[in-house]
Amino acid sequence: MNDTKAKLRLEEEVRRNGVTDSRVLAAMNQIDRLDFVPATFASRAYLDIPLPIPCGQTISQPTIVGIMTQALQIDSSHRVLEIGTGSGYQAAILSKLAKRVFSLERHPRLAADARAKIIDGLKRENVTLAVADGMMGLPEAAPFDRIMVTAAHDDIPASLLDQLADGGILVMPVESADRAQQLVKAVKTGKEIEYTDLCGVRFVPLLEGIAHD
Ligand code: SAH
For 147-203, what is each residue's pLDDT tens digit? 999 999 999 999 999 999 999 999 999 999 888 999 999 999 999 999 999 999 999
| Under 8 Å between Cβ of 95 and 101 | yes
CB 89 near ligand 1, within 6 Å: yes
Is the confidence at residue 1, as pLDDT, over 90? no
Mutation test of ligand 1: which of 150, 208, 210 has the most ligand atoms closer than 8 Å to its C-beta? Answer: 150
Q: How far apart are CA 185 and CA 181, in angstroms?
A: 13
Q: How far apart are CA 54 and CA 58, in angstroms?
A: 8
| pLDDT in the model for residue 97 | 98
Count CA atoms within 13 Å of residue 61 on its CB side: 14
| Under 8 Å between Cβ of 65 and 84 | no
